[in-house]
Amino acid sequence: MDYVGHVIRPPSEAYSMIIQVTVGCSHNQCTFCGTYKGQNFYIKNLDQIKRDIDEASSYYRYKKAFLADGDVLILPTATILEIMNYIKKKNPHIERIGVYGNTKAILKKTPEELKQLRNVGLGIIYQGIESGNVQVLRKIKKGALPGHQLKAAEKVKNSGILLSQTVLLGLGGIDMSIPHAIDTGKHLGNMSPDYASALTVMLLPNTELYRDFQKGNFALPDKFSLLRELKLIIEHMDVHSKCMFTSNHASNYLPIKATLPDQKNDVLDLINRVIESGDENLLKPEHLRAL
């Protein structure tokens, strides 16, 4: 496989055929993300992509495929359709194809284009939201504000493609911890994705956020303050339809998996009990946390 650099995928795509279509990130300005720093964004040669599909198809009978890296949806729809059709030609048993979709890329697609992609097999789009707070989003240089994110979410849901969104605990630092959490919860509730995941910020040495931390301009909330953020997000997340909410990523201190709104009170009770206990033994040990 012609994998270049860091090839990332969502945890739920662990057993998928991973086909790298683009290298890097076209935005690559988020202050917290060090994944593609120093890597120029480019689209891989279509012939190479097809060779990778040929090779991967010979390994295993995959049921799912994921198109990496972070910006595949920014490609022309015709190109994405050609890649997806080739995957299905080589793997007729593929049930779903997934892709990351940043807000800008989603908004560039027409409703008709999204439906075309759905009809050929695009079953889920992973959209990184990070926060619902305008000030936090501007500070991290996300490149998309809540209004744009909401429009993008509506387009995906209206197309019939599943929507999975991620947010980051701790991203507002100590100063913005509470407004970040409350606004993020409200924002997720308004968008009502099919899936939502909370990850926890980890300071990476090659990021602007880490440099701010070194200068004393940013401080991460402590472990139990991060759990309070998780609690506030869920408390304010009034979804309009069923949503599977998780915090079981390796970066988190407390794994949660709940269907909202049905299990909302149960999961809030659990988080409250852990916070009130003050017992760090109930949290994931630091050495087991990772991105």
pLDDT at 19 over 80: yes
Which pLDDT belongs to residue 37? 85
Percent of the chain's residues with pLDDT above 90: 86
User: Is 218 inside any structural domain?
Assistant: yes
Is pTM beyond 0.85? Reply is: yes
169 located within any domain: yes
pLDDT(121) > 80: yes
Residue 278 located in a structural domain: yes
Confidence of residue 42 (pLDDT cuts 50, 70, 90): very high
Please report whether residue 74 resides in a domain: yes
Q: How far is CA 152 from CA 42, 87, 159, in A?
A: 24, 26, 11
Residue 1 lies inside a defined structural domain of this protein:
no
Mean pLDDT of 229-233: 98
Q: Is residue 91 part of a domain?
A: yes
Specify if 184 maps to a domain: yes
For residue 112, name the pLDDT band (cuts at 50, 70, 90).
very high
3-class DSSP string for the chain: CCCCCCCCCCHHHCCCEEEECEECCCCCCCCCCCCCCCCCCEECCHHHHHHHHHHHHCCCCCCEEEEECCCHHHCCHHHHHHHHHHHHHHCCCCCEEEEECCHHHHHHCCHHHHHHHHHHCEEEEEEEEECCCHHHHHHCCCCCCHHHHHHHHHHHHHHCCEEEEEEEECCCCCCCHHHHHHHHHHHHHHHCCCEEEEEECCCCCCCHHHHHHHHCCCCCCCHHHHHHHHHHHHHCCCCCCCEEEECCCCCCCCCCEEEECCCHHHHHHHHHHHHHHCCHHHCCCHHHCCC
What's the CA gap between 185 and 152, in Å, rounded? 17
Assess whether pLDDT exceeds 90 at residue 11: no
| Residue 245 within a domain | yes
At residue 215, does pLDDT exceed 80? Answer: yes
Which CATH number belongs to the domain containing residue 29 in this structure? 3.20.20.70
Range of the domain at 134: 11-288
Number of domains in the chain: 1
Residue 13: predicted pLDDT: 93
Query: Does pLDDT of 287 surpass 90?
Result: no
The per-residue pLDDT for range 153-206, each reduced to its tens digit, is 999 999 999 999 999 999 999 999 999 999 999 999 999 999 999 999 999 999
